[in-house]
């Protein structure tokens, strides 16, 4: 069985965690996988779409194709699956025009309507997408982590010597800048604390010693394990509700407790007081980080709990077979749904 994944050019992170991660499971099921970035030029783009004629399943990931290209892809595909891990039916948080985009929404609806199945990364995306197609065509498969690729952090540092860690792309680094008040409160309580930013560029936060750790696919896990506390922040807006929390999953896989604001999937992924802290005000952020920095044993306990949560809810090994089932068209498979709070996994039979 041949599977073709058409992905956004340059968006290797998304395809790596939501498609490439399941390659071994697919191979075990007799599936071959080819991942192809979609070209920008018309001729190259048509060539990409024409590849659908020679495979059994096409996965279109994230890309909002124009209507005529959607029609071509649909006509050339035996089975078409759309994979989404962001609220791409609207503009993102950085856009000065605001979130509503009639063109993005129209393209999204057109793809969803024509797809045989839509895979989304969280419950919010499922609810929105189900309004534009038959709900039994929409399935939640979260972004998954293979904890075997992450060595747990060794927690020994105390107080200001403890390291804050943040990982992400430049666009999300911009958004982290909106949390300067929270991080300034941390700096006031623990001046000179190191803040390791795993990214292609860094941003200054007064009072914290910023250390740029250039990102690399091979080195990200090792750099995370050199930290002590992972932090995540998202604006409280509609775009953030579509986020699937990759950085939080990576922190937990690396055995780091997490401090984050209670927005979107943060409320589902972080069990307050057990795998980290949900904090809103500058005082709450400072209290949470000071508490963790002072207690290596607590960090180790929360880090272990976070890795266990990954194994229960976001494990590649558990979700891979369900992903493969959807490619085969077995839509009556039992698909676990992630819910708020401390419920582990609630199983739901999709009609």
Q: Which domains does the chain have, with CATH numbers?
A: 2-144+315-349 (3.40.50.2000), 147-313 (3.40.50.2000)
Tell me whether residue 349 is exposed, middle or buried, using C-beta atoms within 10 angstroms of its C-beta: 0 to 12, 13 to 18, 19 or more. Answer: exposed
For residue 340, the model assigns a pLDDT of 36
Query: What is the residue-wise DSSP string for 251-284?
Result: HHHTT--EEE-S-TTHHHH--BTTTEEE--SHHH
Nearest alpha-carbon partner for 164 in 41, 288, 42, 51: 288
For residue 94, the model assigns a pLDDT of 82
CB 35 within 8 A of CB 15: yes
List Cα–Cα distances, 277 to 171, 253, 303, in angstroms.
24, 16, 12
Q: At 79, list the tokens.
A: 């089975």
For residue 78, the model assigns a pLDDT of 97
Q: What is the DSSP letter of 100?
A: -
For residue 124, the model assigns a pLDDT of 96
For residue 128, the model assigns a pLDDT of 96
In this structure, the dihedral spanned by the alpha carbons of residues 213, 203, 88 and 317, taken in order and rounded to 10 degrees, is 30
Nearest alpha-carbon partner for 83 in 57, 56, 63, 66: 63
Q: At 173, list the tokens.
A: 């680094």
- Alpha-carbon torsion 249, 172, 267, 237, what sign? negative
Q: Look at residue 181 and give its three-state secondary structure.
A: helix
What stretches in the chain show pLDDT beneath 70?
10-11, 331-351
Nearest alpha-carbon partner for 228 in 170, 276, 173, 174: 276
CB 323 within 8 A of CB 314: no
Nearest alpha-carbon partner for 302 in 239, 230, 245, 237: 230
- 308: which residues sit within 8 A by CB, 6+ positions away? none
Q: What is the DSSP letter of 323?
A: H
For residue 13, the model assigns a pLDDT of 87
For residue 196, the cross-strand partners are 165, 211
For residue 172, the model assigns a pLDDT of 84
């Amino acid at each position: 069985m041949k599977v073709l994944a058409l992905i956004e050019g340059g968006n290797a992170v998304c395809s790596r965690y939501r498609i490439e991660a399941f390659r071994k499971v697919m191979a075990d099921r007799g599936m071959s996988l080819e991942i192809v970035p979609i070209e920008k030029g018309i001729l190259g783009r048509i060539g990409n779409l024409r590849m659908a004629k020679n495979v059994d399943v096409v996965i279109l990931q994230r890309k909002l194709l124009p209507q005529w290209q959607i029609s071509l892809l649909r006509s050339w595909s035996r089975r078409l699956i759309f994979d989404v891990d962001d609220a791409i039916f609207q503009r993102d948080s950085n856009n000065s025009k605001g979130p509503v985009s009639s063109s993005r929404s129209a393209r999204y609806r057109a793809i969803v309507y024509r797809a045989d199945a839509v895979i989304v990364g969280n419950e919010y995306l499922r609810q929105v997408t189900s309004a534009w197609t038959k709900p039994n065509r929409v399935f939640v498969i979260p972004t998954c982590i293979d904890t075997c690729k992450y060595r747990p952090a060794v927690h020994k540092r105390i107080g200001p010597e403890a390291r804050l860690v943040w990982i992400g792309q430049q666009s999300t680094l911009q958004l982290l800048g909106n949390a300067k008040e929270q991080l300034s409160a941390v700096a006031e309580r623990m001046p000179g604390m190191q803040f390791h930013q795993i990214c292609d560029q860094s941003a200054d936060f007064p009072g914290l010693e910023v250390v740029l750790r250039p990102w690399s696919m091979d080195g990200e896990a090792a750099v995370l394990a050199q930290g002590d506390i992972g932090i995540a922040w998202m604006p409280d807006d509609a775009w953030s509700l579509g986020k699937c929390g990759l950085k939080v999953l990576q922190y937990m896989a690396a055995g780091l407790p997490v401090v984050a604001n209670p927005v979107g999937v943060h409320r589902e992924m972080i069990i307050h007081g057990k795998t980290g802290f949900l904090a809103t005000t500058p005082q709450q952020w400072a209290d949470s980080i000071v508490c963790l920095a002072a207690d290596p044993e607590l960090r180790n306990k929360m880090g272990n709990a976070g890795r266990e949560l990954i194994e229960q809810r976001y494990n590649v090994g558990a979700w891979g077979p369900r992903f493969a089932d959807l490619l085969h068209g077995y839509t009556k498979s039992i698909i676990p749904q992630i819910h708020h709070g401390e419920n582990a996994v609630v199983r739901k039979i999709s009609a």
